[in-house]
Amino acid sequence: MARCENCGRSPMAGNNVSHSKRHTRRRWFLNVQKATIDINGKRKQLNLCTRCMRTHRKAKLSIQGG
């Protein structure tokens, strides 16, 4: 469940930088939730990131879960 099924976003990579400026690799994961949305009158269960859930809610589309 690391990828959003709506927008396709996936985890990003970068560096942790300590106080002494040592760089170690790290990943930023998405906040992915299982949600039920209505698409063309049919209910569908998708793994959505919270950004997509918020966009759907603001566009007044039906969304449940998360």
Print pLDDT tens along the chain (66 aa): 589 999 999 999 999 999 999 999 999 999 999 999 888 888 999 999 999 999 988 887 656 665
d(C-alpha 42, C-alpha 48), whole Å: 17
Q: What is the pLDDT of residue 32?
A: 95
- Rounded to two decimals, the pTM is 0.71
Query: What one-letter code names the amino acid at 28?
Result: W
Cβ atoms of 63 and 37 closer than 8 Å: yes
Nearest of 34, 33, 32, 28 to residue 11 by alpha carbon: 28
* Structural domains for the chain: 12-65 (2.30.170.40)
pLDDT of residue 63: 61
Check residue 61 and give its pLDDT. Answer: 61
Cα–Cα distance, 8 to 26 (Å, whole number): 20
Residue 10: what pLDDT?
A: 94
Q: Which tokens go with 1?
A: 């469940």
